[in-house]
């Protein structure tokens, strides 16, 4: 709700990009102002939404001068759904902002200055790059203030993204520009067909309804996976609905469903059932085939994932006599991608299903010099692990956003591997870990790869060499 007497900060110049996709400027009292959907170079009056002792948060009330990097967003839902936060900024400026953020994190948090920093690798097409999208069915469509104030009775069914900070409201999407066709056609059909068949859209407060979520995955060879998550629908209704989908889109390679009556939408503890086709789709990279099922993790941007892995391989400089550790291996894609250069690769991952998929993919690809283990990195990566597999010549680590646990960092220091290649989707936590490793390692190279255009996220690869 708007305050009756809002604080307005006049003529704030936006100076740069900050965390979580926001921009920042300075108020007249020199306090930092964090502003979403602003661009460096904007001059605007800012309405304060949060006031703290040393900073403000606010939104643009009046834009007096637009940044030269400001462009017209492509999507009509921009600013509402939260899926994209930078569509109002030119792609060239997005890349420059990401590159600068990585460099500043390494310098200020990590206290390291790589000897070589590569120019960030951007996408050929900054749209339609995602290979996985998840949408929510809801009978609680988010309405604009204008719609709420009107006397009209709106259809409250929606299929789209949750409104940020409103867990029970969903933005009904007309078109999303993050996944290639036929993603939009499938999503729109699924909504229309559900209404034709009088299926109930999910109510998150009452935890009731027939339809919960829709997931669409695709590959570079145009294989399609569609997964419908039901709740209370009868088996007859499920069969009728899925039959309509496959009739409308016969090229779907994998049509799956699950019945989920628990409190959240996560799939990892659910039984996935195959209605049509295979229970997986395949991605290919340099002749390697990777089967991707409904629960598999695979890099969201397939084309950029290939470029990322090429950077990893180049930095690692693996020789035929080298033993390689691939920590946080996931489904083993990096491990298998570099295996042909190594004597042996050992991958470690905490998710049993991911390791099972990694082992299956290795068999399909005829790779015999990889070994995968299941376990929490903090406990499995220990002296016994090193004794079993021999000391690593190269370590590749690709941890989650939170970075590596201090115990893992300490074990890396004790291991004393000649080279470490650190892949991260969060350069801030990467920089923190680099600072801890800097007692024994020097940072040689850093290479950012943009996997997520229109957002503030970026991957960064760093090469460390033992001092």
Q: Are 384 and 429 in contact (CB under 8 A)?
A: no
Q: What's this model's pTM, rounded to 2 decimal places?
A: 0.92
* pLDDT of 87 higher than 80: yes
Cβ neighbours of residue 30 closer than 8 Å, sequence gap 6 or more = none
Name 25's bridge partners.
Answer: 14, 33
Do 117 and 140 sit in the same domain of this protein?
no
Beta strands in 297-381 (DSSP E): 323-327, 344-349, 370-374
Specify the pLDDT at position 208. Answer: 95
Q: Are 133 and 176 in contact (CB under 8 A)?
A: yes
Do 272 and 322 sit in the same domain of this protein?
no
Instruction: Look at the block and give the residue holding tokens 């792609």.
Output: 91
414-461 pLDDT, tens digit per residue, is 999 999 999 999 999 999 999 999 999 999 999 999 999 999 999 999
Local confidence band at 3 (pLDDT 50, 70, 90 cut-offs): low
Q: What is the CATH classification number for the domain harbouring 401? A: 3.40.50.150
Asked whether residue 88 is domain-assigned, the answer is no
210-232 pLDDT, tens digit per residue, is 999 999 999 999 999 999 999 99
What is the rounded radius of gyration, in angstroms, for the C-alpha atoms of the chain? 24
Do 344 and 213 sit in the same domain of this protein?
no
Q: What is the CATH classification number for the domain harbouring 28? A: 2.40.50.140
> CA dihedral defined by 223, 350, 396, 424, rounded to 10 degrees?
70
Q: Are 137 and 201 in contact (CB under 8 A)?
A: yes
Do 321 and 183 sit in the same domain of this protein?
no
Q: Are 82 and 453 in contact (CB under 8 A)?
A: no
* pLDDT of 401 higher than 60: yes
Do 254 and 321 sit in the same domain of this protein?
no
Give the separation between CA 176 and CA 180, rounded to whole angstroms.
9
Give the separation between CA 225 and CA 242, rounded to whole angstroms.
13
Q: Are 167 and 138 in contact (CB under 8 A)?
A: no
* pLDDT of 1 higher than 70: no
Q: What count of residues does the chain have?
A: 467
Catalytic site includes residue 425: yes
26-84 pLDDT, tens digit per residue, is 999 999 999 999 999 999 999 999 999 999 999 999 999 999 999 999 999 998 988 89
Local confidence band at 148 (pLDDT 50, 70, 90 cut-offs): confident
Q: How far is CA 258 from CA 204, 206, 207, in A?
A: 17, 20, 16
Do 265 and 339 sit in the same domain of this protein?
no
Do 324 and 383 sit in the same domain of this protein?
yes
Q: What is the CATH classification number for the domain harbouring 140? A: 2.40.50.1070
Give the separation between CA 384 and CA 348, rounded to whole angstroms.
14
The DSSP bridge pattern shows strands 288-292 and 323-327 to be unpaired
Number of compact structural domains in the chain: 3
Name 459's bridge partners.
Answer: 449
Neighbour count for residue 168 (Cβ, 10 Å): 12
Neighbour count for residue 181 (Cβ, 10 Å): 10
- Please name which of 52, 118, 174 lies closest in space to residue 461, comparing C-alpha atoms: 118
Give the separation between CA 255 and CA 226, rounded to whole angstroms.
5
Local structure of 328: helix, strand or coil: coil
Give the separation between CA 275 and CA 223, rounded to whole angstroms.
16
Do 263 and 304 sit in the same domain of this protein?
no
Do 97 and 190 sit in the same domain of this protein?
no
Q: Are 172 and 214 in contact (CB under 8 A)?
A: no
Do 141 and 268 sit in the same domain of this protein?
yes
Asked whether residue 76 is domain-assigned, the answer is no
Asked whether residue 291 is domain-assigned, the answer is no
Name 170's bridge partners.
Answer: 141, 162
- Tokens representing 19 are 């965390």
Give the separation between CA 393 and CA 242, rounded to whole angstroms.
51
Asked whether residue 86 is domain-assigned, the answer is no
Asked whether residue 170 is domain-assigned, the answer is yes
Local confidence band at 155 (pLDDT 50, 70, 90 cut-offs): confident
- Domain span at 245: 132-285
Residues 142-146: contacts with CB under 8 Å, at least 24 apart = 142/80, 142/166, 142/169, 142/170, 142/171, 142/172
Give the separation between CA 30 and CA 8, rounded to whole angstroms.
15
- DSSP letters for 161-216: EEPTT-TT-EEEPS--SSS-TTHHHHHHHHHHHHHHTTPPBPBTTTTB-SEEEEEE
- Tokens representing 241 are 């609905």
Do 319 and 455 sit in the same domain of this protein?
yes
Do 189 and 225 sit in the same domain of this protein?
yes
Average pLDDT, the chain: 95
Q: Is the peptide bond before 57 cis (omega within 30 degrees of 0)?
A: no
């Amino acid at each position: 709700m708007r305050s009756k007497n809002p604080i307005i900060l006049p003529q704030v110049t936006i100076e740069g990009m900050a965390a979580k996709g926001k921009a920042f400027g300075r108020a007249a009292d020199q306090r930092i102002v964090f502003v979403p959907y602003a661009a460096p170079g904007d001059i605007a009056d800012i309405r304060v939404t949060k006031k703290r002792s040393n900073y403000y948060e606010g939104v643009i009330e009046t834009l007096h001068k637009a940044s030269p990097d400001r462009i017209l967003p492509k999507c009509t839902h921009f600013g509402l759904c939260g899926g994209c936060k930078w569509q109002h900024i030119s792609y060239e400026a997005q890349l420059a902002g990401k590159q600068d953020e990585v460099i500043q994190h390494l310098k200020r948090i990590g206290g390291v200055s790589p000897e070589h920093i590569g120019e960030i690798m951007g996408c050929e097409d900054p749209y339609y790059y995602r290979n996985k999208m998840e949408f929510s069915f809801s009978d609680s469509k988010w309405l604009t203030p204008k719609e709420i104030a009107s006397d009209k009775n709106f259809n409250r069914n929606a299929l789209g993204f949750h409104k940020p900070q409103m867990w029970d409201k969903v933005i009904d999407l007309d078109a999303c520009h993050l996944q290639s066709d036929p993603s939009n056609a499938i999503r729109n059909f699924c909504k229309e067909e559900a209404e034709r068949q009088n299926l109930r859209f999910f109510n998150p407060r009452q935890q009731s309804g027939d339809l919960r979520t829709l997931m669409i995955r695709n590959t570079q060879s145009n294989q399609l996976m569609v997964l419908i998550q039901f709740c209370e629908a009868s088996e007859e209704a499920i069969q009728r609905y899925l039959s309509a989908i496959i009739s409308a889109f016969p090229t779907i390679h994998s049509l799956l469903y699950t019945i989920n009556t628990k409190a959240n939408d996560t799939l990892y503890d659910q039984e996935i059932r195959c209605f049509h086709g295979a229970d997986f789709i395949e991605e290919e990279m340099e002749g390697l085939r990777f089967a991707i099922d409904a629960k598999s993790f695979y890099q969201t941007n397939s084309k950029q994932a290939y470029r990322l892995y090429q950077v990893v391989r180049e930095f690692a400089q693996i020789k035929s006599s080298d033993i390689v550790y691939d920590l946080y291996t996931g489904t083993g894609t990096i491990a298998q991608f570099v295996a042909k250069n190594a004597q042996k690769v050992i991958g470690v991952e905490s998710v049993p299903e991911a390791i099972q998929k990694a082992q299956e993919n290795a068999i399909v690809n005829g790779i015999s010099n990889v070994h995968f283990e299941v376990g929490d990195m903090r406990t499995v990566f220990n002296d016994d692990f090193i004794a079993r597999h021999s000391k690593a010549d190269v370590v590749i680590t690709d941890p989650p956003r939170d970075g590596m646990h201090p115990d893992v960092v300490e074990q890396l220091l004790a291991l004393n591997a000649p080279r470490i290649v650190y892949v991260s989707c969060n350069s801030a936590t990467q920089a923190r870990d680099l600072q801890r490793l800097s007692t024994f390692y020097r940072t040689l190279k850093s290479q950012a790869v943009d996997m997520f255009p229109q957002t503030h996220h970026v991957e960064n690869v760093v090469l460390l060499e033992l001092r």
